[in-house]
């Protein structure tokens, strides 16, 4: 069992390494976007898949990461890597701040708070012209590594892949850790978990903070890829798209996060002709997925895989 898992992981990795060859500039860019989105999907795996909490404001954390890193690199002259890390940490701090008040109440308050938060962040970034450039936006330097600028998205893609793998590894560790399992226990039955000595507020704050950190890192990396930030990017629509891709890819699997990232990055390319209805299609696929494939597209892949490899499977 463990062996097949390793083989699958190696195969996926080989595919990810080989994929960009021969794709051309735009292909590299798209592949980079896949990775950036997949990091957000990973963050929603932690929050929704393990924590059972929902956020419709991840654009807010994405924006904080992007603007945070851009400003720290341009205004303070920090190196790119530290900028990205700082972007993640700023987002994480705000993640904890948003989760804190909503925790005292059960139910959907946290989701509502995240919605308000994302709109608030977008507006502050827009109004605070002296810092963020407001309407004009903000120029962001290209990523650089040890003094070398990664001018090409081909090279940047491999850096993004490495960061994605790092975050995926952390996610896996978290899922096996006591904190992660406490979080999943709270999702299964919060009453039972609390009566086992597991503190609900603490673990939901942890989930929210990790999730916001991943998203902030992704946003920071995205800003350096685009080279220019404007507040319109961080709209409600992108929050909702994030949610869609995470659910469609699969909320309980790191490979699912990758699939979700690919969906969100590539679907617009395939749906060029019906640009107007693209979001409608997202909405429809989201509902169909929740109804018929609650574990996401990856569950189909897994099922096909198990049928192919273990004919005597009992379950």
Partner 1 sequence: MPLVEIANLSLSFAGLRALSNVSFAVETGEIIGLIGPNGAGKSTLLNCISRIYMPDHGTIRFQDRDLNSRTASEVAAEGIRRTFQNLELFREATVRENVALGLIYRYRTSLLAELFALPSARDNQRGALKEADQIVAEMGLSEWANVLVAELPYGSQKLVELARAMAGHPKLLLLDEPAAGMNREESRRVAETVRRLRDHKGITVLLIEHDMRVVMTVCDRIVVLDHGEKIAEGTPAEIRRSPAVVKAYLGDA
Partner 2 sequence: MITQLLASGLALGSVYALLALSLVLIHKATDVVNFAQGEMAMFGTYACFALLTKTEFPLPVVMLAAVPLGILLGVATERITMGPLRSAPPVNALIATIGLWMIFHHTAGWIWGYDPVRFPSLFSPEPINILGARVAQNSLGIIAVSLLVMVLLYLFFEFTRMGIAMRAASQNRRAAQLMGVNVTRISLIAWGLATAVSVVCGLLIAPLTFLDFEMMLSVLLKAFAGAILGGFNSLPGAVVGCLVIGVVENLIAAYVSTAFKDTFAFGIIIVVLMFRPQGLFTREIVKKV
Tell me which residue of 207, 301, 266, 234 sits closest to 29, measured CA to CA: 266
Which of these segments, 51-59, 87-95, 123-131, 169-177, binds partner 1 (CB under 8 A)? Answer: 169-177
Please state the closest distance from residue 109 (CB atom) to partner 2, in A. Answer: 6
Residue 276 interacts, among partner 1, partner 2, none and using kind-specific CB cut-offs from 5 to 8 Å, with partner 2
Please state the closest distance from residue 241 (CB atom) to partner 1, in A. Answer: 27
Instruction: Check residue 6 for interaction with partner 1 (CB under 8 A).
Output: no
Instruction: Check residue 178 for interaction with partner 1 (CB under 8 A).
Output: yes
Residue 267 interacts, among partner 2, partner 1, none and using kind-specific CB cut-offs from 5 to 8 Å, with none
Residue 52 interacts, among partner 1, partner 2, none and using kind-specific CB cut-offs from 5 to 8 Å, with partner 2
Specify the residue, 189 or 306, whose C-beta has the smaller distance to partner 2: 189
Instruction: Check residue 107 for interaction with partner 1 (CB under 8 A).
Output: no
Name 149's bridge partners.
144
Specify the residue, 1 or 191, whose C-beta has the smaller distance to partner 2: 191
Specify the residue, 140 or 193, whose C-beta has the smaller distance to partner 1: 193
CB 128 within 8 A of CB 240: no
- The residues of the shown chain that bind partner 2, judged by CB under 8 A, are 48, 52, 54, 56, 100-102, 104-109, 111-113, 115-117, 119-120, 123, 127, 191, 236, 240, 243-244, 247, 276-280, 282-287, 290-291, 294
Residue 156 interacts, among partner 2, partner 1, none and using kind-specific CB cut-offs from 5 to 8 Å, with none
Torsion (CA) 275, 152, 36, 39 in degrees, nearest 10: 160
* 151 burial via Cβ count (<10 Å: 0-12, 13-18, 19+): exposed
Which of these segments, 58-66, 107-115, 180-188, 285-293, binds partner 1 (CB under 8 A)? Answer: 180-188
Specify the residue, 9 or 240, whose C-beta has the smaller distance to partner 2: 240
Please state the closest distance from residue 177 (CB atom) to partner 1, in A. Answer: 4
Assigned token pair, 282: 């997202």
Please state the closest distance from residue 171 (CB atom) to partner 1, in A. Answer: 9
Specify the residue, 15 or 195, whose C-beta has the smaller distance to partner 1: 195
């Amino acid at each position: 069992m463990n062996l097949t898992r390793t083989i699958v992981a190696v195969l996926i990795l080989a595919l990810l390494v080989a994929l960009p060859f021969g794709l051309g500039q735009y292909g590299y860019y798209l592949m980079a976007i896949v990775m950036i989105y997949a990091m957000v999907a990973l963050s929603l795996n932690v929050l929704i898949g393990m924590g059972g909490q929902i956020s419709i404001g991840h654009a807010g954390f994405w924006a904080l990461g992007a603007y945070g890193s851009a400003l720290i690199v341009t205004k303070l002259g920090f190196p790119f890597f530290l900028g990205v890390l700082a972007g993640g940490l700023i987002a994480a701090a705000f993640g904890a701040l948003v989760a804190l008040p909503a925790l005292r109440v059960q139910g959907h308050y946290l989701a509502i708070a995240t919605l308000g938060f994302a709109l608030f962040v977008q507006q502050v970034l827009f109004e605070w012209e002296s810092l963020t450039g407001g309407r004009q936006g903000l120029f962001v330097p290209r990523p650089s590594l040890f003094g070398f600028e990664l001018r090409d998205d081909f090279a940047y893609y491999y850096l993004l892949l490495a960061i994605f793998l790092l975050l995926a590894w952390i996610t896996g560790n978290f899922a096996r850790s006591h904190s992660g399992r406490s979080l999943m226990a709270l999702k299964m039955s919060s009453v039972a978990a609390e009566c086992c000595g597991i503190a609900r507020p603490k673990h939901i704050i942890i989930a929210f903070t990790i999730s916001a950190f991943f998203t902030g890192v992704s946003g920071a990396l995205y800003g350096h890829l685009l080279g220019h930030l404007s507040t319109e990017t961080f709209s409600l629509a992108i929050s909702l798209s994030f949610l869609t891709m995470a659910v469609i890819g699969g909320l309980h699997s790191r490979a699912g996060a990758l699939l979700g990232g690919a969906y969100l990055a590539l679907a617009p390319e395939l749906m060029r002709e019906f640009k107007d209805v693209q979001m409608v299609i997202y909405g429809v696929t989201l509902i169909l997925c929740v109804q018929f494939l609650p574990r996401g597209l990856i569950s189909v892949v897994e099922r096909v895989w198990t049928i192919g490899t273990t004919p005597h499977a009992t379950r």
